[in-house]
């Protein structure tokens, strides 16, 4: 319900206060309720002020000590002091602009003395400084400052990107301790933050390459162990086959058994090549006589190796 009044009477709403003038001069304050005015005596209601808490949002752009431009969103909650409502009515023509000007002055005097990290950690100190200054100044004009809230701190987009890169790379290498003094150096601006992000990124890539090389070396080692065990198993299997065949079939020599095994493996290889669709064209000797030549080459190689070992001894 709003305030209503005419030339002879007026009704002032709750949470409001009226300013009564007499012959153009301030006479008294009218509390909420119904009031009579005597126009013959020069009385009239000059205006009505609200005593509710008002909120003013102020956006300030300034620079920190480490040369980072930031935007601060400050919310000022204020109200008119009932006993001094006449000062608020007559002294200030635009109180919002007056409050905003003082907020600009205080914030731009304090923030340049702080780094960006300190600003995030001590934003309450900035709000307290603004509150003390506004209470001292606006109190003389009939206004009481209830609260100062530092709602948001918005750094420059390039600085936010650099900070996000530092955090993202840091999370990727947090499992591995890095003993580099460059990672713990101080930084004084956006360029230094980007440099720190690059250092983190380089350390992360270094760790990944080292781990990849270690994994590859381990893989090759295990592959070599597997090949050695495979060859050992093949050798033991051939030896067992030769011994079993020689004992069970009388009149056979180890050479004949070896030739038979070579022929069997030869046909198994041909069968595997024919059954696989992913193999490319391979030209190999396909006659039984060539198998005998391969067997002779293997035996000759083994004999040459044995003779070389004897001569060295």
pLDDT at 151 over 60: yes
Question: Which of the four pLDDT bands, split at 50, 70 and 90, describes residue 136?
Answer: confident
Question: Which of the four pLDDT bands, split at 50, 70 and 90, describes residue 179?
Answer: very low
Average pLDDT, integer, range 268-281:
68
Partners of 50 in beta bridges: 16
Kind and range of the H or E run holding 20:
strand 16-22
Q: Kindly report the average pLDDT of the chain as a whole number.
A: 75
The three-class DSSP label of residue 253 is coil
Give residue 213's pLDDT: 85
Distance CA 68, CA 162 (A): 12
pLDDT at 94 over 70: yes
Q: Compare 275 and 76 and report the one with higher pLDDT.
A: 76
Question: Which of the four pLDDT bands, split at 50, 70 and 90, describes residue 211?
Answer: confident
For 217-269, the pLDDT digits (tens) are 888 888 888 877 876 777 677 677 666 766 666 666 666 666 666 767 777 77
In the CATH scheme, what is the code of domain 54-161? 3.30.479.30
Question: Which of the four pLDDT bands, split at 50, 70 and 90, describes residue 178?
Answer: very low
> Which three-class secondary structure string do you get for 130-188?
HHHHHHHHHHHHCEEEEEEEEEEEEECHHHHHHHHHHHHHHHHCCCCCCCCHHHHCCCC
Give residue 121's pLDDT: 86
Question: Which of the four pLDDT bands, split at 50, 70 and 90, describes residue 304?
Answer: low
Q: Compare 167 and 235 and report the one with higher pLDDT.
A: 235
pLDDT at 113 over 80: yes
**11 token code pair:** 């009704």
Give residue 78's pLDDT: 92
Range(s) of the chain covered by CATH 3.30.479.30: 54-161
pLDDT at 297 over 70: no
pLDDT at 284 over 70: no
pLDDT at 208 over 70: yes
């Amino acid at each position: 319900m709003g305030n209503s009044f005419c030339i002879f009477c007026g009704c002032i709403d709750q949470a409001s206060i009226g300013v009564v003038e007499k012959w153009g001069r301030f006479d008294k304050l009218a509390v909420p309720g119904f009031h009579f005015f005597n126009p013959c005596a020069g009385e009239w209601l000059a205006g009505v002020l609200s005593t509710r808490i008002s909120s003013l949002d102020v956006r300030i752009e300034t620079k920190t000590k480490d040369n980072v431009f930031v935007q601060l969103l400050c919310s000022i909650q204020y109200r008119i002091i009932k006993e001094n409502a006449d000062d608020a009515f007559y002294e200030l023509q635009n109180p919002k602009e007056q409050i905003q000007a003082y907020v600009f002055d205080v914030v731009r005097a304090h923030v340049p003395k702080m780094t960006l990290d300190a600003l995030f950690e001590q934003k309450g100190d900035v709000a307290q400084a603004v509150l003390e200054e506004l209470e001292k100044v606006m109190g003389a004009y009939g206004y009481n400052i209830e609260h100062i809230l530092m709602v948001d701190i918005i750094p420059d987009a390039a600085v936010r990107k650099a900070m996000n890169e530092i955090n993202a790379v840091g999370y990727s290498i947090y499992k591995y301790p890095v003993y580099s003094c460059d990672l713990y150096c101080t930084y004084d601006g956006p360029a230094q933050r980007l440099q720190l992000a690059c250092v983190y990124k380089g350390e992360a890539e270094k760790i990944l390459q080292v781990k990849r090389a270690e994994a590859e070396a381990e893989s090759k080692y295990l592959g070599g162990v597997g090949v050695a065990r495979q060859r050992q198993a093949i050798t033991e299997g051939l030896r067992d086959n030769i011994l079993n065949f020689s004992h069970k079939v009388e009149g056979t020599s180890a050479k004949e058994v070896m030739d038979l095994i070579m022929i069997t493996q030869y046909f198994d290889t041909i069968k595997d090549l024919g059954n696989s669709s992913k193999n490319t064209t391979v030209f190999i000797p396909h006659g039984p006589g060539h198998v005998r030549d391969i067997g002779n080459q293997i035996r000759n190689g083994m004999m040459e190796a044995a003779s070389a070992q004897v001569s060295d001894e």
